[in-house]
Amino acid sequence: MAAVLVAQLRHAWTYSNHVLDGLAEVEYFWEPAQPGWSVRRRDPSVRGWGSGDFVCEDAWPPPDPLPIPTIAWRVVHLAAWTDIYRRFAFEGSRPDLNELEIPGDCDGGLEWLRRSQQSFIDAVAQLTDAAVFEPRPAHWGAQVPAVRLVSSMLTEHVHHIAEIGVLRDLHRGRALVQPPPEPTSGPSWWSGTLDPA
């Protein structure tokens, strides 16, 4: 079972590297809508978490409607929570988001994300099949099976990486003004008609 979890993580995070490949600073900080959350230079007007010169915008409880996060926000959010989950569940420490230094550029954010992903995989790879079902501390205070924590982290990555892919598609598309493609004939099942043959 532990090997299956590691394989799932590797597969998802290899795919995430494809989605993030070639990411430019302008895409990283692009704000598709307002209000939006991003990684911003520390200022009394910016509400969020992290240490250093930059802050990852956030609020608890979250506002309604929820601001649209940038790719920068999603990358830093994933890196931070991957480290938080790992440190709680596998190292027995109790980290705080405000202890984490937030990188202020695309390269720094991606480096942190990849490092956190690899550290998480390394921790999961140390589990035996029996240990996968043993309770581990979660950041929300409960003791839950390691498999639940790993599955939660996997789901979180798939969710945010898919959103990053959509944001990259939207960013590319906003600069292009193209007429819609000409209609093409497709298979009969696509149009809803039955082939008489």
Q: Give the pLDDT score at 182.
A: 65
Cβ distance 160 to 74 under 8 Å?
Answer: yes
Average pLDDT over all residues of the chain: 88
Is the pLDDT at 179 greater than 60? The verdict is: no
**Cα distance between residue 68 and residue 71, in whole Å:** 10
Give domain status of residue 45, yes or no: no
Give domain status of residue 190, yes or no: no
pLDDT digits over 129-151, tens only? 999 999 998 988 889 999 999 99
Give domain status of residue 191, yes or no: no
The 3-state secondary structure of the chain, one letter per residue: CHHHHHHHHHHHHHHHHHHHCCCCHHHHCCCCCCCEECEEECCCCCCEECECCEEEECCCCCCCCCCEECHHHHHHHHHHHHHHHHHHHHHCCCCCHHHCECCCCHHHHHHHHHHHHHHHHHHHHCCCCCHHHCEEECCCCCEEEHHHHHHHHHHHHHHHHHHHHHHHHHHHHHCCCCCCCCCCCCCHHHHCCCCCC
**Cα distance between residue 13 and residue 33, in whole Å:** 27
Q: Give the pLDDT score at 58.
A: 93
Q: Give the pLDDT score at 156.
A: 93
Give domain status of residue 98, yes or no: yes
Give domain status of residue 97, yes or no: yes
Q: What is the CATH number of the domain that holds 138?
A: 1.20.120.450
Domain limits at 143? 2-34+69-175
In the chain, the number of structural domains is: 1
Give domain status of residue 145, yes or no: yes
Q: Mean pLDDT, to the nearest integer, of 174-186?
A: 57
Q: Give the pLDDT score at 188.
A: 52
Is the pLDDT at 187 greater than 60? The verdict is: no
Give domain status of residue 60, yes or no: no
Residues paired with 68 in a beta bridge = 36
Q: Give the pLDDT score at 140.
A: 87
pLDDT digits over 36-62, tens only? 999 999 999 999 999 999 999 999 888
Give domain status of residue 82, yes or no: yes
